[in-house]
Structure 1
Amino acid sequence: MDLHTAVYNAAHDGKLQLLQKLLAGRGREELDELLGEVAGGGTPLWPSKQAARSGVELVRVVRLTEAPRRSRLRTTRTNSTPLRAACFDSHLDVVRYLVGEHKADLEVANRHGHTCLMISCYKGHREIARYLLERGAQVNRRSAKGNTALHDCAESGSLEILQLLLGCHARMERDGYGMTPLLAASVTGHTNIVEYLIQEQPGHGHLSGAELPGEGSPQGARSGRSTPEEAEPHESCCPTSREAAVEALELLGATYVDKKRDLLGALKHWRRAMELRHQGGDYLPKPEPQQLVLAYDYSREVTTPEELEALITDPDEMRMQALLIRERILGPSHPDTSYYIRYRGAVYADSGNFERCIRLWKYALDMQQSNLEPLSPMTASSFLSFAELFSYVLQDRSAKGNLGMQLGFPDLMGVLSKGVREVERALQLPKEPGDSAQFTKAIAIILHLLYLLEKVECTPSQEHLKHQTVYRLLKCAPRGKNGFTPLHMAVDKETTNVGRYRVGIFPSLHVVRVLLDCGADPDSRDFDNNTPLHIAAQNNCPAIMDALIEAGAHMDATNAFKKTAYELLDAKLLAKSTVQPFNYVTLQCLAARALDRNKVPYKGFIPEELEAFIQLH
């Protein structure tokens, strides 16, 4: 272990005597180097949970006053700081020391735009939040996605911190998803926050009449005071409109259905929302849906108290109501909307109702592809879930025969087509897909779906549709890790490892043949100049090598290390192999290798097609 790592580990574990020994007698430049980043971007100045009991002593030991400021307040590669780490892990003494004695910047945000105040609110660290507010932290600062500390507080469920923020003139603003802190509390199921924020709904007083949790009731008039100790809890909060209160209660009820699994609790909140919609004879109507949705069994939202009370006899209908409410209020772009549709589908799958699951998941996938960026983690997760579900259903059908679910070609083909569409969307972006691992995974899932399609019967016209879709994939020339084409991936055993559960097994001769039939280039190269034949040889697959050679792959093509595929075959397989390279070497191939081996200048003297042929060898 090098000295740099030893210093970090000693600080991380709170071993103060060892840390003192490691740092003793070192100059300013050496201290600056030792207090710099280690793998992962942290520094020894980052207080850890293990070192919490050491507090300020830990920070003093690393000689903040002797080390240059660059080390004292260094940021990581994600732009986090020691102060933010102290806020995250609730080290109030360290926060006071860094801010009070070393003037640490409260407003340095990480790469997501989250400040120290935001993280202390999200983690529910009230005293740190109070201290930061006292020191002038910007209460209405926004993150990259538009949320404020009030949103973070609402999501964490800390009513006391919420009151501190409101007392410092925190504003009820919408984030990038259009969410207010009130809706954020509803989505996360923090009833105390929802109750507190809607209790002054104008003209109607407190909506339930029940005693609220927290530190007292609002005092009404603004006092003008801004410090958290002096401010009245509710003085800066604009009264909640009736419509906002209704939506908050309806969304809270949906959260009770899907997250808390409390149907009676959901009915209670929906009753209050219904009463408020009809209150004073001024009815607040729900917007009419553009169309009824098959995935929801063509359900529509209830609009009368009688319809609402009838839900108690139909729990499944209540669950559909929760999905309808969430989609109406949050909209299709909010991650929770598609997440809970997928969650409900998974519940149906667990009970054996695969058809209902597939309908819901397809609806969620359409929603994600229409509203999220290409290859978003949620969309990628949906594709993988489909592949795993289809694999399970096909195995289940094989075990049960006619008693199992009859998974058909349209189910698989529909998702395969959407997968190819996702790759096309990603490649249409102005720049290359940023996450190569995610892009590789998307191609791998498509190959797994192709693998599964072999297991279902299809008509000649369906077979033609499958080939058209694969041709679309090949036409956009996607490249995965190390420049792998889909054909490279089809002959690579690593393609098998796409998720937690096994779907297809690779290398796959069937998938290779489908790709070749649709025009995949058997001599395509990865970044190491390997052809699919090289990868097949590395994975010891003579049968697949035969198929590639029959499709025109050059047996004597060399990679960046001047190796042919034949030379990469395992010695035992080589002895048994029926592949004889000389049977596939032409006089043209020998001439190309001779030119390259003897370093004969040819560029510019021969046609470009011949140059490419020589470079292949």
Structure 2
Amino acid sequence: MWEGGSNPSRPMGSKNLDIKNHDLVFNELMQECRHSPPGARLSKKLRAGLEKMRPEERRELCRRMRDGCAPLFVASKRGNVEIVEYLIHVCAADLEQRGVYEVADDQMVHSVTPLWCAAVAGRLAVLRVLADAGADLNACSDSGSTPVRSACFMTRAEVVEFLVERGADIHRPNHNGGTCLINSVQSLRLLKLLLQHGADVNACDMQHKTALHYAVQEQRVEAARLLLQHGANPRLASCSGDDALRIACLKGAPQVVAVLSAATHFCPARVADAYELLGATQLDEFNDLTATLISWRRATAIRHAYGPYIGKQPQRPPQPALGNAREWRTSAELEALAVDVDAVRTQALLVAERVLGPAHKDTIFRLMYRGASYADAFRYQRCIDLWTWALQIRLEKDSLLFSDAPTDTCHTASALTRLLLDAHGSRLERARGLPRHVDVVRVFALLAEHLPACRRALDARPVHKKQAETFDRALRCVTHLLHLLAETRGAQRAAVCARVRRLLAADVRSAHTGDTLLHLAVSRLNVIRSTYFADEVPVPAPGPGQPHTLRPSRRPVTHRPALPHTLRPSRRPLSVQSPVHPLVYPIQ
């Protein structure tokens, strides 16, 4: 099968035969690399065929790839030490030729060297052969991750120890700033090894998070204690403004909170804030009222233990969305609240707003979640109040174009508009008298105020597709809110018309199609899509006598058939989808 070795003096027919034989040898080589058990050698016949070739031909054959991988890469991944040694020493295979490696956990495909692949796969014997042959110990993947860092992530302790002994760089981060130490918080053995070899305990990634942040985030109590003993700074804050103590509270981890409080000298006010936030998380995330009260009692005791009462800072004005409630001060006030679960939940929101700040992503998420819970309990007005507050915070902190699921601005606006529409259309149980005119006007004013500036921001090229889609969704929300305002009468009508005229004067058009408000108002494709609502109801056609005079337009208005609605299933379906609501009165 393998006769016909290469000879430059042979005629063309012999060279073609050589090429055919090389193809056969390569196919057989890949087959054995893929399917030979660990410890197996290449077959005698295959070795004979390879050794008939000239050295440069063997090397070139070993550079050929199938499915993105060369023979040495496949053998390294499978841990076939004998085959790896043969390919390196007999075939002179390229030690740095990259192949495709798929990480099962995150389903990501990386371009890496054989040594990187062997390290991640835990093939220590193969790793030793590659290192002895001179393979680069610090050859990074396409994401900038070194073999030792990736081995830390996979908790390959023996591999990490070997690479560190051979001088691998444990300080080099990947493209996102992640270090070996950050990747090792799940293993005390690895943490001790890296710290003994001088790993920077306070090195940050791109989110300004250290290994301590991640240890606390994953509730690794012993890892956090070890990092603190080696000088980890618990006061360093991430991009979100969260230090280690706050992260422990947000994760509902009382043991970690205790470790951090004991190891670091935090002022009494800070410790009291921590236990108050911990209690709020235990209620909101774990629905554990008993644990919440224990944490809050401890916080109250701390505030009263050092002479004069330690006030809660910063002091914020009463929030109408929370019924103008105030936080408790004394143990007696706390015990009085304990019998009223709804009051306790309100206190949890007050604590989150004060300690985290109203613009913190966790605060906004808790407002949305608590509002959804009120809607499930048929307390729609409380839901409207909380979601409107969340929308206002988002618009003030970021913008209408902000998109960072699950708390993006337009998601909040869509869910709120949808709730108002369903309440108006009598599709919600026990929603008599809703929505209130003042609520609709407030939501409309919040959106209309920000639309012109956001539309101007989209004039710059190139346009981010998601931002353009977000803007168009917000514009559709405004047209549906106008439908709700159509029934305004008396002095309120004049104020509404004035607001609408200001919006029309800005000539706000959709980002993708350039539609005016009038076009959107009469379009049968104009629907509100929100993950809080899931079903579809028939869309009524515009009836006779409905004027189309929202704004003069030179563009012809066409009525197109409605497309099927494809909302994702919701964890909390409240009601059916609202139909299109064409405007029913002219703006004078």
TM-score by length of 1: 0.64
- What is aligned with 1:323? 349
Residue 107 in 1 paired to residue 135 in 2? no
- What is the aligned counterpart of 1:117 among 181, 184, 188? 181
1: CA distance, partners of 2:443 / 2:129: 56
Structure 2 equivalent of residue 444 of structure 1: 473
- CA gap 1:378/1:17 in 2 versus in 1, 3 angstroms: same
Q: Tell me the equivalent position of 2:443.
A: 415
Match of 1:314 among 295, 317, 340: 340
The Cα of 1:355 is off from its aligned counterpart by 1.0
Q: Compared with structure 1, are the counterparts of its residues 14 and 514 closer, same or farther at alpha carbon in structure 2 (3 Å cutoff)? A: farther
Secondary structure of the corresponding residue to residue 43 of structure 1:
strand
Report the counterpart of residue 504 of structure 2 in structure 1. Answer: 471
The residue type equivalent to 1:3 in the other structure is R
Give, in angstroms, the shift of residue 288 of structure 1: 6.9
Instruction: Determine whether 1:196 maps to 2:259.
Output: yes
1:147 is aligned, of 209, 223, 233, to 209
Hey, what's the Cα distance between the residues in 2 that align with 1:427 and 1:27? 61
> Residue 71 of structure 1: CA displacement?
9.0
Q: How does 1:161-560 map onto structure 2 within 5 Å?
A: 161-175=223-237, 176-199=239-262, 237-287=263-313, 289-372=315-398, 375-377=402-404, 381-391=408-418, 394-395=421-422, 398=425, 404-405=431-432, 406-408=434-436, 410-424=438-452, 426=454, 435-451=464-480, 453-454=482-483, 457-459=486-488, 461=494, 464=497, 467-468=500-501, 470-471=503-504, 474-475=507-508, 479-480=511-512, 484-486=513-515, 499-500=530-531, 501=533, 517-518=550-551, 522=555
CA distance in 2 between partners of 1:441 and 1:126 (Å): 45
The 2-side partners of 1:538 and 1:432 are apart by: 31
Provide the aligned length of Structure 1 versus Structure 2.
480
Q: By how many angstroms is 1:352 displaced?
A: 1.5
Paired AA for residue 181 in structure 1: A
Matched residues in 2 for 1:13 and 1:308: separation?
Answer: 63
In the alignment, the residues of structure 1 paired with residue 314 and residue 202 of structure 2 have an alpha-carbon distance, to the nearest angstrom, of 35
Structure 2 counterpart of 1:261, one-letter code: N
Deviations 1:474-519 (A, max 9, x none): 44x6634xxx434699599998695545699999998xx9999446
Paired with 1:398 and 1:116, the residues of 2 have a C-alpha distance of 57
Q: Does 1:96 align with 2:158?
A: no
Match of 1:132 among 194, 203, 212: 194
SS of the residue corresponding to residue 408 of structure 2 reads: helix
Q: By how many angstroms is 1:138 displaced?
A: 0.9
**Pair 1:364–1:385, CA change in 2 (3 A):** closer
Q: Judge conservation of contact 1:172–1:238 (CA < 8 Å) in 2.
A: yes
> Post-superposition shift, 1:301?
0.8
Given the superposition, is the C-alpha separation of residues 86 and 33 from structure 1 closer, same or farther in structure 2, using an over 3 Å criterion?
A: closer
8 Å contact kept, 1:187–1:252: yes
Q: Distance in 1 between matches of 2:281 and 2:131?
A: 47
- The 1:45–1:159 alpha-carbon spacing in structure 2 relative to 1, beyond 3 Å, is farther
Q: Distance in 2 between matches of 1:332 and 1:114?
A: 30
What is aligned with 2:50? none
Name the CA shift for 1:461/1:425 in 2 (closer, same or farther; >3 Å).
same
Match in the other structure for 2:221: 159
Write the distance in 2 (CA, Å) between the matches of 1:260 and 1:400. Answer: 31
Shift of 1:134: 2.3
Say which of 86, 100, 122 aligns to 1:55: 122
CA separation of 1:13 and 1:303: change in aligned 2, threshold 3 A: farther
Look up the SS of the partner of 1:337 in the other structure.
helix
Relative to the length of structure 2, the TM-score reads: 0.67
Q: Is the 8 A contact 1:83 1:116 kept in 2?
A: yes
Q: 1:504 to 1:307 in 2, by over 3 A?
A: same
**Where in structure 2 are there 5+ consecutive unaligned residues?**
1-64, 565-588
CA contact (8 A) 1:157 1:190 kept: yes
> Between the two proteins, what is the percent identity of the paired residues?
24
**C-alpha contact 1:55 1:94 (8 A) present in aligned 2:** yes
Contact 2:321–2:385, Cα closer than 8 Å, also in 1: yes
Give, in angstroms, the shift of residue 179 of structure 1: 3.0
Contact 1:36 1:74 in 2 (8 A): no
Query: Take 1:27 and 1:461, find their aligned partners in 2: how far apart are those partners?
Result: 85
CA drift at 1:54: 4.5
Which letter does structure 1 place at the counterpart of 2:158?
A: D
Q: CA deviation at 1:347?
A: 0.9
Change (3 A) 1:471 1:29: farther
Is the alpha carbon distance of 1:395 and 1:486 closer, same or farther for their aligned partners in structure 2, counting shifts above 3 Å?
same
Q: Shift of residue 260 of structure 1?
A: 1.6
Q: What is the CA–CA distance in structure 2 between the aligned matches of 1:462 and 1:369, rounded to whole Å?
A: 23
Distance across 2 between alignment mates of 1:336 and 1:359: 18
- The residue type paired with residue 142 of structure 2 is T
Distance in 1, matches of 2:100 and 2:131, equals: 10
Give, in angstroms, the shift of residue 152 of structure 1. Answer: 1.9
- SS of the aligned residue for 1:3 comes to coil
Equivalent residues of 1:173, 1:181 under 8 A apart:
yes
Moved more, 394-403 or 340-349: 394-403
1:320 partner letter:
T
Amino acid at match of 1:73: C
Q: Distance in 1 between matches of 2:553 and 2:95?
A: 57
> Are residues 507 and 438 of structure 1, via their aligned partners in 2, closer, same or farther at CA, if it must alter by over 3 Å?
farther
Alignment of 1:45-84 (within 5 A): 54-57=121-124, 60=127, 69=136, 72-76=139-143, 79-84=144-149
1: CA distance between counterparts of 2:207 and 2:389?
Answer: 26
**What RMSD, in angstroms, separates the aligned Cα atoms of the two structures?**
4.9
- Say whether the 8 Å CA contact 1:296–1:320 is kept in structure 2: yes
In structure 1, how many angstroms separate the alpha carbons of the residues matched to 2:380 and 2:137?
58
**Equivalent residue letter for 2:338:** I
Q: Deviations over 1:283-313 (max 9, x none)?
A: 2122473421111111001111111110111
Report the AA paired with residue 125 of structure 1.
Answer: S
Q: Given the superposition, is the C-alpha separation of residues 509 and 470 from structure 1 closer, same or farther in structure 2, using an over 3 Å criterion?
A: farther
From the superposition, tell whether residues 347 and 62 of structure 1 become closer, same or farther in structure 2 (CA, over 3 Å): farther
The amino acid across from 1:117 in the alignment is: L
Q: Distance between the aligned counterparts of 1:515 and 1:171, measured in 2?
A: 64
Cα separation, partners in 2 of 1:46 and 1:440, compared to 1, 3 Å: farther
Gaps of 5+ in 1: 200-236, 524-531, 541-617
After TM superposition, give the deviation of residue 403 of structure 1 in Å: 5.1
Matched residues in 2 for 1:341 and 1:106: separation? Answer: 41
Q: Distance in 2 between matches of 1:494 and 1:43?
A: 45
In terms of fraction of residues, the more helix-rich structure is 1
AA in 2 matched with 1:72: A
Closer, same or farther in 2 for the Cα pair 1:435/1:4, shift >3 Å?
farther
Alignment check: 8 A CA contact 1:182 1:197 kept: yes
For 2:351 and 2:75, how far apart are their aligned partners in 1?
Answer: 47
Q: For residue 90 of structure 1, report the CA deviation from its aligned partner.
A: 2.5
Deviation at 1:87, TM superposition (A): 3.0
Secondary structure of the residue that 1:301 maps to in structure 2? Answer: coil
- Which residue of the partner structure matches residue 579 of structure 1? none
Report the residue type matching 1:106 in the other structure. Answer: H
Task: Name the amino acid aligned to 1:116.
Answer: C
2:141 matched to 1:43? no
